[in-house]
Amino acid sequence: MQAKETLFADLVQGRAQQFQVPLYQRTYSWAEKQLRQLWSDILEQAELLESGDEASTHFLGSVVLAPSPQNEATFPRWLVVDGQQRLTTLSLALAAIRDHIADAEPDEAERINEEYLINKRKSGNDHFRLLPTQADRPQFAAHIRNALPEQRDGGSVADAYSFFRRKLIEAADPADPQDAFRIEQAITSRLTLVAVTAERGDNVHRIFESLNNTGLKLSQADLLRNYLFMRLPNSGEYIYETYWLPLQDSLSNDELEQLMWLQLVLDGDDRVRRQDLYTAQQQRFERGEVSETEIEGYIKELHRRGALFRRLLRPEEEQNAAVRAQLRRLDAWQAQVTYPALMLLLDRREHGELDSSETARAMSYIESFLVRRMICRVPTNNLNRIFQAVPGQLPFDVPVADGLHQLLSADNRFWPDDNELREKIRTAPFYQYGRWHQRKMVLQRLEESYEHPEPLDFAAAQLTIEHVMPQSAGSEWIRMLSEDATDGENAEDLHSRMQHTLGNLTLTAVNSELSNHPFERKQGLLRGSHLEMNRRIAATERWGAKEIAARADELADRAIALWPAPLRGVGRAERSRDWHLAHLVLAALPHGTWTSYGDLAAFIGSGAQAVGNHLAGTARLTNAYRVLTSDGKVSDGFHWTPPGAGGDVRARLAADGIRFTANGAADPAQRLTADDLALLVTDDGDSADSTDPAQCALAGQTEETRAGRFFRQLEADDSPETVEAVRALLTDWEELGGWIGHGAGQVTTSAFLMLGEAGAPGRGIWPLTLYPGSGRGGTAEVVFQHLAVREPFTDRTLRSGLLQRLNELEGVDIPEGKLELRPSFCLSLLEKDHNRELLAKTLSWFRDRWEGRGTP
C-alpha cells in the first residue's frame, strides 16, 4: 500500500486511464450543502491565486484506489474504493467550466475536456476518465459528452452540474468578478488529496474504515492555547491565571477563536481564514526567535481586546450612548461580517485616535453601507473580503472616520448613492430581499425618524411587516388598480410589481386583523396605531399605485437623511447588477418550469418591456427562451440571439419538461411567479413569508393562545368541514409522534407539523406548514426548500417521493420543477375522505423516512 499527497490534475492527467466506481458503492449523493462548502473552498483558493499566495492549498480528503480486475498494461483502470463523491463532483465542476467558456474559448474548452474528462482515443465506456456506478452513468456520460440541452432532470448528477453552472454565472458579479480559468486552476492544482493506492492483496475496506474513523477534533483555539503555554515554561501559570482564564471565562470557545482570528486581521493579515488560525499564528511566532516576553505580550493584548470584543457581542457593556446605539443596531442586523472594522474603531478609540462621537459617526457609515446595499439588492457574497481588508487598507493620512468613509466609497465596493437608493425604494421588491429581521429594522429606523414625542418600545412590541395593499388582492383592490394601470400594464401586473415595494409596507401589531381587507377597513385600524407611519397611511383617501409611489418618495427622503451616502466620484454599475441578478435566477430555473416577462420584471424591480428588450439583445443567455408571455405563449418578438442558436422554441421547452395545454400554452402549473423566483436565489430561512420554526410557541398558555388564533383565522375564511378536516389532520400528526408548533408569523399565524425534540424546534424537521387563507382559503405549504438542507431529505429522491405521494391527492398537481421551492395546495381538498386518508399515509411515510434517516 502507498499513500501520497497529490492534486486532482496529477491524479487524472497524463496517459489514458480510468477510475471506476464499483457496483457496491452508493450512487452520487452530494447535495447543496456539500456543494456550497466546496464552492466556498474553491473561491478561497482562486482568491489566493489572484493575490499571488502559492503556499496555502486546501486539503479536500482522501481517495482510496485499488487495481481493477479489468486493468491493462497500456490502459490502467482503478477501482475507487473511497472518494467517488469528490472525484465525481470535481469532474462535473470542470464540465461546467468547459461549457461556460465554450462559446468564447472553444480551444480552451477542448483542452479541459481532454486533460481531465475524457480519453480522446477511446470509445464506449473507456472514453471517460471517471466511470460512475451504473445508476449514475447515463446522466454523467451525457454531461461529459454535452449531448443534452442545457437543462436536464437527472437527479443529483444533474443538480450538481446545474449548481456549478449557476455559480459560474454568479462569479461574473461586477463587484467581485472571478476568472473561470483561475477557478479551473484552483480545482485542479489547489485542492490536495491523499491518494492511497492498494496492491491486489490489500484489504481495501479496512483502509477505508481506518480513514473514516475520526474522533473529536481539537478546535483552533485549543491548538493555539496549547502551543502558547508550551512556550511559557517559566511564567505560564501566572499568565494563565491573570490573563487567559478571565478571558476564557468571559467568552465561549467559538467566540475566543473568533477573537484570535480578529487579532490576526487587526495586525494586517487580510487573507487569513478562521480554519487556518492556528497555523497562521504559529508561523508568525516561528519566523524568528520568539521570547517568553513576546508570547506574554500576545496574550495580554488578546486579553485587552477581549474586553472590546465583548461590546460587539453584548452592546449593553458599551458606556457611550451613541456608540451603544450603533452597536445595538449592527447586532440586530447580525452583522458579524463587520467585526474587523468595528474592532478597529474600538481599538483606535482606546488608543485615543478618535473620540466616541467620531466612533459613532464611523459606525454609521458601516450601517449605511449594509442597509443601502440590502435595499438596492447588492449581493452579500463579497462582504467578508471587504471588511476583512479594512484594517490593512484604512488610509493613514486622514482621520479614522473619514478614512473609513473614503475606503467604503472606493470603486467596486458598490455602496449605492442617493439616486440609486431612491430608485430602488420606488421599484425594487424590498420584501423579497435580505433577512426578515433586517427588513424589519429598516422599517423601524424609518418610523423612528418621525421622532414621535412618545416613541414606541420596539423591543417589547410584537410588530410584524404588513402589506397595505395585500399580497392576495381581492376584487375591490383589482378594480382600484385598474384605474392606475397604464402603458399596456393590467391591474394584476401592477399588483405584482408594486406589492413588495417599500412604499407598500409598514409595521403593525394587528397584522391578522388587517389581513386581506379593503383599504377603508384598514384605515380605521391604522388610524389608531401608535406608529406615525401608519397614521399617515390612514390619512390617505385611497391606496393605489400613485399613493404607493408617493409614500416611497417620502421614505426615500428619510432613508437618504438616515443613512449617509458614499463619497462622490466613484464608478458604478447599478443597472448591470440588476441584469446580473436576472441572469442568475434564469440559470437557476428548475427543470420543468417557466416564467413570464412580468414575473421576471417584478422580481428585479423593472418593467416587462425592458426585460424583453434585454433578453432579445443578450447573446446566449441561459434559459432566456423559458421566459414567456403571461398566458404561456412564446412572444411574437422572441428571437434567438444569435439567430438560429437554439432551433425550435417549443421543442426546446418540451425537452426541458414543459407541458402544453390543448390551446398550445405552457402549463400554468409549471409557471414560477416573482415570489417563486425569489426563492431560487434565497438561502433557507431567509424567505419573506416563512415563519421561523425556532419562534414557534411550545407548551403552555402561549401555544393555546396561538393555536386558538390559528383556528379563529381559519374559521373566518374556510368552511366548517375544512376546519374539522384540519383539526383531524393535526390530531393524526400527533398520534404519529409529531407535535404542532404555532408561529407568530410575518404575515399571519401558522401551524407547523414538527418532528424532533419539542423544545428545540430549530433542530427539528417539518413537511408542511398550514396557513389560514386571509380571504382566499387556507393552504398547506410543502416546504421542499427547507427539506433540501435537512437530513435525510437532502436526498432528492426522497423529496421526489414526497411529491409523488402528495400528487396522488385529488386536486393536487405539483410539478417536478417546484421540488426546490415551497408549493401549496388548498386545505379545502381535505374535506374529501379519500384525500385525508392519502395524506395521513404520506405523513406516516415521511415520519418513517425521518426516523430511519432515509432508509427505504
Q: pLDDT tens for residues 48-71?
A: 888 887 767 888 988 989 888 788
What range does the domain containing 477 cover?
A: 432-562
Asked if 242 and 179 sit in the same domain, the reply is no
Percent of the chain with pLDDT over 70: 89
Asked if 728 and 709 sit in the same domain, the reply is yes
Helices (H), 506-544: 511-514, 519-527, 532-538
Q: What is the mean pLDDT of residues 124-149?
A: 87
Asked if 207 and 228 sit in the same domain, the reply is no
Residue range 425-438, pLDDT digits in tens: 999 999 989 899 99
| Within-domain flag for 582 | no
pLDDT at 440: 94
d(CA 258, CA 274): 7
The DSSP letter of residue 666 is B
What band does 223 get if pLDDT is binned at 50, 70 and 90? confident
| Within-domain flag for 729 | yes
Q: Average pLDDT of the chain?
A: 86
Asked if 437 and 540 sit in the same domain, the reply is yes
pLDDT at 271: 80
Q: What is the mean pLDDT of residues 573-592?
A: 76
User: Residue 650 maps to which CATH number?
Assistant: 1.10.10.10
pLDDT at 723: 95
Last residue within a domain, chosen from 159, 189, 211 = 211
Asked if 340 and 246 sit in the same domain, the reply is yes
Q: Dihedral through CA 737, CA 738, CA 739, CA 741, nearest 10?
A: 170
| Within-domain flag for 580 | no
Q: Which of 149, 151, 150, 130 is nearest to 140 (CA)?
A: 130
The H or E element containing residue 682 is none
Asked if 438 and 541 sit in the same domain, the reply is yes
| Within-domain flag for 63 | yes
pLDDT > 60? residue 513 = no
| Within-domain flag for 572 | no
Asked if 238 and 196 sit in the same domain, the reply is no
Last residue within a domain, chosen from 619, 653, 680 = 680
Asked if 436 and 299 sit in the same domain, the reply is no
Helices (H), 251-393: 253-266, 277-285, 292-313, 321-332, 339-350, 356-375, 383-388, 390-393
Half-sphere exposure of 620 (CA within 13 A, CB side): 8
Residue range 323-377, pLDDT digits in tens: 999 999 999 999 999 999 999 999 999 999 999 999 999 999 999 999 999 999 9
Give the least confident one: 549-563, 771-785, 788-802.
771-785
What band does 467 get if pLDDT is binned at 50, 70 and 90? very high
Asked if 294 and 353 sit in the same domain, the reply is yes
pLDDT at 113: 95
| Within-domain flag for 330 | yes
Asked if 267 and 295 sit in the same domain, the reply is yes
- Total domain count, the chain: 5
| Within-domain flag for 856 | no
Q: Residue 347, Cα to own-chain centre: how many angstroms?
A: 33
3-state secondary structure at position 254: helix
Asked if 37 and 145 sit in the same domain, the reply is yes
Asked if 297 and 179 sit in the same domain, the reply is no
Last residue within a domain, chosen from 680, 714, 738 = 680
| Within-domain flag for 575 | no
